[in-house]
Structure 1
């Protein structure tokens, strides 16, 4: 799919652009949250 096709599709469906933006925000925040919840196991 070319860039022009994607841009035209998003222009015709503005709600999808909002959904994609929200998903990007959530995914950008998920990495640090997962990194902070890592648990270290003490070895013998």
Structure 2
């Protein structure tokens, strides 16, 4: 398990822009989940 963590850490150290990309993807998925939950609650 620690090998995969080391690999990811190394990759992100070599490609710092990917940290921002991953953060943006997480934010997008969070917002999408909230919108889907709200839309699912209003359908009758």
Range of TM-score over shorter length? 0.7 to 0.9
Report which of the two structures shows the higher radius of gyration computed on alpha carbons: 1
Number of residue pairs matched by the alignment: 40
In structure 1, the gaps of 5 or more residues are none
Q: 1:36 aligns with which of 35, 38, 44?
A: 38
Name the residue aligned to 2:20.
18
In structure 2, the gaps of 5 or more residues are none
**How far off its partner does 1:5 sit?**
0.8
Decide which structure has greater helix share.
2
> RMSD in angstroms over aligned alpha carbons?
1.2
